[in-house]
């Protein structure tokens, strides 16, 4: 019997069979010629009940998916949970799961950034300086950077649904502990646990869209998941600051803990079982960097773009006031507009090619940051700030899409490397921007960011044209292009990133 290809590995998505099931008398004749069945064809996956894989002279097969005959136990378990893409119940469940993961990202980023609006009140209540209170933001970022790969490896063979549930529960508990903290030491320890949750959840959740929705919706689903990042800046942090002003900083932490409990319930209710597609060891992470040039470039671009962003954005308030001449009373309103523009940019970039998007982002932000550092005037500052938010809004989703397409067989490992670098780059950006401001002047921070953004654009462009090769047919398609080999599509170039829709993690065994 000729084994049918796994549904995620065919170059074209399967189409539903609209013909009536064949009668038993007609099935043997279809499969009697070894070269006549769909298994011999390079086209679509055989439809359920087609009988194309029956042995000559044998009994007709049961009307089930042909791929089930050659699927591994993990793939069988996953297919048992899945519904046909056109089934409205399956569609609702998949998008519900995506929404629950997006809510988790929103809750975690809100929790990570919540102290930004509470530093003064926390410091005054617990008897520490504003600088010391700022560790509530710095510590979770650094911990998240280190814990992204640690949690991914430590999760091993645990169902990813339960990993996400535990991480959200940890975040909720940490915020409740923070709300009750008798001193700053206990509060900082709780913030450390928030960092563990952020790094682990982001690394695992970032690559789940390909397992939750049909192939043609993966880009939109990934954009929805990462929509939680700018939305947290627009809604979560201002709402937390308002709650802190109304009921005190402890009430704000308790409220985020309550939101975490609601997110926990949503994940338990809406997420399907997500068995690991493969286990990851610590040795595989550096090995992935060594053998996959596209992942290396993705990590490098992540460092350059995020460091450049936070070298400038950390000091956006003094930039607007001292360079653009914006009145202090309008800065909060302008930052709200920045956040809304970021949400729009996230969804605009979601379904687009990550190579072209990141090339455009790097070049555009290099220009925008250089202008906002040198062009005076409130109108110019406002326009440039909104453009800044719109362009940077597409960064998170584009970097995640880059990693998924660069390493479709190692999506979790690649995502953990990106998340680790993303969070470490936040700290590096704030540090480098601070050195520029203290050592030179306020405009030096965005100018430093502009230089890093330009270097990121050059890195994407140069590495994409550094090699020329012809794609190798590995069962996922062929192609010709320039640049880096991306996953299975060897030497297809960054513009020909291996599409995860052609190689579903569930079916890659």
What is the three-class DSSP state of 43? coil
What is the three-class DSSP state of 481? strand
Return the percent helix, strand and coil in the chain, to nearest 5: 70, 0, 30
Sequence-separated contacts (24+) of 247-252 with Cβ below 8 Å:
248/121, 249/118, 249/121, 249/122, 249/125, 250/179, 250/180, 251/179, 252/114, 252/118
Q: Which residues of 31-70 are buried (b: 16+ CB within 10 A; e: fewer)?
A: beeeeebbbeeeebbbbbbbbbbbeeeeebbeeebbbbee
Residues ≥6 apart with Cβ < 8 Å to 7: 14, 45, 65, 67, 504, 507
Q: Which position has the token pair 């529960």? A: 169
pTM of the entire structure?
A: 0.65
Give the pLDDT of residue 502.
37
Instruction: Give the residues across from 489 on adjacent strands.
Output: 486
Q: Which position has the token pair 């009307």? A: 63
Q: Are 448 and 433 in contact (CB under 8 A)?
A: yes
Listing DSSP states for 348-391 in one string gives: HHHTS-HHHHHHHHHHHHHHHHHHHHH---HHHHHHHHHHHHHH
Q: Which position has the token pair 């899409």? A: 401
Q: Could you say which residues of the chain have pLDDT below 70? A: 1-91, 278, 351, 464-509
Q: Are 449 and 308 in contact (CB under 8 A)?
A: yes
Task: Please give the Cα distance from 369 to 437 (Å, whole number).
Answer: 15
For residue 30, give the H/E element and its range: helix 27-31
Give the pLDDT of residue 260.
94
Tokens of 168: 């959200």
């Amino acid at each position: 019997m000729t084994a049918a290809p796994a549904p995620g590995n065919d170059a074209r998505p399967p189409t539903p069979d609209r013909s009536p099931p064949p009668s038993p008398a007609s099935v043997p004749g279809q499969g009697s010629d070894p070269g006549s069945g769909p298994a011999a064809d390079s086209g679509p996956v055989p439809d359920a009940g087609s009988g194309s894989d029956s042995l000559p002279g044998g009994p007709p097969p049961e009307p089930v998916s042909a791929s089930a005959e050659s699927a591994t136990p993990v793939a069988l378990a996953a297919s048992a949970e899945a519904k046909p893409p056109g089934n409205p119940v399956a569609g609702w469940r998949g998008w519900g799961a995506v929404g629950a993961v997006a809510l988790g990202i929103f809750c975690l980023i809100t929790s990570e950034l919540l102290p930004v609006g509470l530093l003064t009140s926390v410091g005054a209540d617990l008897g520490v300086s504003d600088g010391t209170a700022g560790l509530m933001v710095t510590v979770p970022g650094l911990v998240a950077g280190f814990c992204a790969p640690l949690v991914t490896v430590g999760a091993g063979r645990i169902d990813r649904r339960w990993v996400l549930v535990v991480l959200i529960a940890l975040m909720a508990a940490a915020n409740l502990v923070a709300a009750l903290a008798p001193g700053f030491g206990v509060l900082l320890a709780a913030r450390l646990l928030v960092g563990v949750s952020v790094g682990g959840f982001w690394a695992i959740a970032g690559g789940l869209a390909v397992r939750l929705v049909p192939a043609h919706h993966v880009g939109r689903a990934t954009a929805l998941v990462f929509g939680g990042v700018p939305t947290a800046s627009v809604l979560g942090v201002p709402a937390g600051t308002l709650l802190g002003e109304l009921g005190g900083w402890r009430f704000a932490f308790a409220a985020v803990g309550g939101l975490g409990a609601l997110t926990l319930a949503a994940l338990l209710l809406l997420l399907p079982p997500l068995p690991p597609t493969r286990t990851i060891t610590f040795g595989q992470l550096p090995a992935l960097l060594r053998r996959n040039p596209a992942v290396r470039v993705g990590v490098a671009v992540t460092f350059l773009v995020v460091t450049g962003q936070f070298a400038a954005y950390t000091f956006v308030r003094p930039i607007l006031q001292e360079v653009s001449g914006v009145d202090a009373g309008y800065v909060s309103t302008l930052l709200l507009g920045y956040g809304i523009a970021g949400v729009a940019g996230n969804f605009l970039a979601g379904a687009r090619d990550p190579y072209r998007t990141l090339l455009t982002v790097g070049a555009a932000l290099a220009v925008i940051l250089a202008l906002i550092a040198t062009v005076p005037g409130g109108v110019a500052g406002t326009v440039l700030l909104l453009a800044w938010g719109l362009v940077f809004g597409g960064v998170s989703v584009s970097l995640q899409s880059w990693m998924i397409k660069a390493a479709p067989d190692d999506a979790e490992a690649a995502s953990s490397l990106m998340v680790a670098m993303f969070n470490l780059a936040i700290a590096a950006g704030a540090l480098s921007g601070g050195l520029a401001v203290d050592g030179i002047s306020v405009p030096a921070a965005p100018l430093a960011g502009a230089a890093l953004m330009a270097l990121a654009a050059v890195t994407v462009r140069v590495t994409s044209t550094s090699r020329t090769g012809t794609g190798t047919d590995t069962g996922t398609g062929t192609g010709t292009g320039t640049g880096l080999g991306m996953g299975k599509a060897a030497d297809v170039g960054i513009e020909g990133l291996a599409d995860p829709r052609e190689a579903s993690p569930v079916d890659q065994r």
